[in-house]
Structure 1
Amino acid sequence: MNPQTPQLPWPGLAVLSAAMLLPSMGTSIVNVALPDMAHDFGGEFPAVQWVVLAYLLTLSAFIVGAGRLGDMLGRRRLLVAGFAVFAAASAVGALAPALWAVIASRAVQGLGAALLMALAIASVGDLVPKTRAGSAMGLMGTVSAIGTALGPSVGGALVALWGWPAVFAVLAILAAAAGAVARRVLPADRPLSGPLQFDTAGLVLLAAALAALALALTPANAAAVAWPALPAIAFAATLAFLWVEMRAPHPLIRLGLLADWPLSAGLAASGLVAAVLMSTLVVGPFFLSLGLGLDALHTGLVMSVGPAVSALCGVPAGRAVDRFGTLAVTRLGLGFLVLGSVLMALVPVRLGWPGYAASLAVMTAGYALFQASNNTAVMARADAEQRGLVSGLLGLARNMGLIAGASAMGALFAWGSAGGLAWLGAGAGAGLQLTFAVGACLSLLAFAIAQAGRGS
Structure 2
Amino acid sequence: MRPHRTSEPSARVAPPRPAVRRALAALSLSVLLSSLGTSIANVGLPTLAEAFGASFQEVQWIVLAYLLAITALIVSAGRLGDVLGRRRLLLAGILLFTAASVLCGVAPTLPLLIAARAAQGLGAAVMMALTMAFVGETVPKAKTGSAMGLLGTMSAIGTALGPSLGGVLIAGFGWRALFLVNVPLGLLTLLLAHRHLPADRSGPTADRVRFDHAGTLLLALTLAAYALAMTLGRGGFGTLNAALLVAAACGAGLFARVEARAAAPLIRLRTLRDPRLGGGLAASALVSTVMMTTLVVGPFYLARTLGLREALVGLVLSVGPLVAALTGVPAGRGADRFGAPRMTVAGLIAMAAGATALSVLPERFGVAGYVAPVVVITAGYAVFQAANNTAVMADVPADRRGVVSGMLNLSRNLGLVSGASVMGAVFALASATADVATAHPEAVATGMRITFAAAAALIVTALVIALAAAASRRADTQGEDPAAPREASAPGAPGRAAGRHGGSR
User: How does the TM-score come out when normalised to structure 2?
Assistant: 0.86
Residue number among 192, 197, 217 corresponding to 1:204 in the alignment: 217
Residue number among 52, 58, 62 corresponding to 1:51 in the alignment: 62
**Aligned CA distance change for structure 1 residues 36 and 381 (closer, same or farther; 3 Å):** same
* Counterpart mapping for 1:26-45 below 5 A: 26-45=37-56
Q: Distance in 2 between matches of 1:59 and 1:126?
A: 24
RMSD: 2.0
The 3-state SS of whatever aligns with 1:221 is coil
Q: Is residue 340 from structure 1 mapped to residue 340 from structure 2 by the alignment?
A: no
- 1:101 offset after TM fit, Å? 1.0
Q: Is residue 265 from structure 1 mapped to residue 279 from structure 2 by the alignment?
A: yes
- 1:6 offset after TM fit, Å? 8.4
- 1:403 offset after TM fit, Å? 0.6
User: Which residue of 1 is the match for residue 488 of structure 2?
Assistant: none
The 3-state SS of whatever aligns with 2:181 is helix
- 1:191 offset after TM fit, Å? 4.8
Q: Distance in 1 between matches of 2:34 and 2:271?
A: 27
- 1:150 offset after TM fit, Å? 0.5
User: Which residue of 2 is the match for residue 437 of structure 1?
Assistant: 453
Q: Which sections of structure 2, spanning at least 5 residues, go unmatched? A: 1-13, 435-440, 475-505
User: Which residue of 2 is the match for residue 382 of structure 1?
Assistant: 396
User: Which residue of 1 is the match for residue 305 of structure 2?
Assistant: 291
Q: Distance in 2 between matches of 1:268 and 1:292?
A: 34
Larger of the two Rg values belongs to structure: 2
Counterpart of 1:440, as a letter, is: A
- 1:201 offset after TM fit, Å? 1.1
User: Which residue of 2 is the match for residue 412 of structure 1?
Assistant: 426
User: Which residue of 1 is the match for residue 169 of structure 2?
Assistant: 158
Q: Distance in 1 between matches of 2:16 and 2:346?
A: 26
User: Which residue of 1 is the match for residue 115 of structure 2?
Assistant: 104
Quote the sequence identity (%).
53
Q: Distance in 1 between matches of 2:273 and 2:358?
A: 36
Please tell me whether the aligned partners of residues 50 and 223 of structure 1 are also in contact (alpha carbons under 8 angstroms).
no
Q: Distance in 1 between matches of 2:414 and 2:62?
A: 19
Q: Distance in 2 between matches of 1:431 and 1:257?
A: 39
Please tell me whether the aligned partners of residues 342 and 437 of structure 1 are also in contact (alpha carbons under 8 angstroms).
yes
* Counterpart mapping for 1:276-315 below 5 A: 276-315=290-329
Please tell me whether the aligned partners of residues 419 and 430 of structure 1 are also in contact (alpha carbons under 8 angstroms).
no
Deviations 1:417-452 (A, max 9, x none): 2269xxxx9511111001100000000000000100
* Counterpart mapping for 1:4-403 below 5 A: 7=17, 9-191=20-202, 193=205, 196-218=209-231, 220-221=233-234, 227=240, 228-403=242-417
Q: Distance in 1 between matches of 2:288 and 2:156?
A: 13
Counterpart of 1:443, as a letter, is: I
175-184 vs 58-67, which moves further: 175-184
* Aligned residues between the structures: 450
- 1:394 offset after TM fit, Å? 0.4
Please tell me whether the aligned partners of residues 235 and 425 of structure 2 are also in contact (alpha carbons under 8 angstroms).
no
Q: Distance in 2 between matches of 1:326 and 1:5?
A: 23
Counterpart of 1:377, as a letter, is: A
Q: Distance in 1 between matches of 2:232 and 2:350?
A: 29
Please tell me whether the aligned partners of residues 266 and 378 of structure 1 are also in contact (alpha carbons under 8 angstroms).
yes
User: Which residue of 1 is the match for residue 9 of structure 2?
Assistant: none
Q: Distance in 2 between matches of 1:225 and 1:441?
A: 27
Structure 1 runs of 4+ aligned residues shifted over 6 Å read: 222-225
Q: Which sections of structure 1, spanning at least 5 residues, go unmatched? A: none
Q: Distance in 2 between matches of 1:418 and 1:206?
A: 37
- 1:330 offset after TM fit, Å? 1.0
Please tell me whether the aligned partners of residues 91 and 169 of structure 1 are also in contact (alpha carbons under 8 angstroms).
yes
**Aligned CA distance change for structure 1 residues 292 and 138 (closer, same or farther; 3 Å):** same
397-406 vs 409-418, which moves further: 409-418
Please tell me whether the aligned partners of residues 279 and 465 of structure 2 are also in contact (alpha carbons under 8 angstroms).
yes
The 3-state SS of whatever aligns with 1:427 is helix
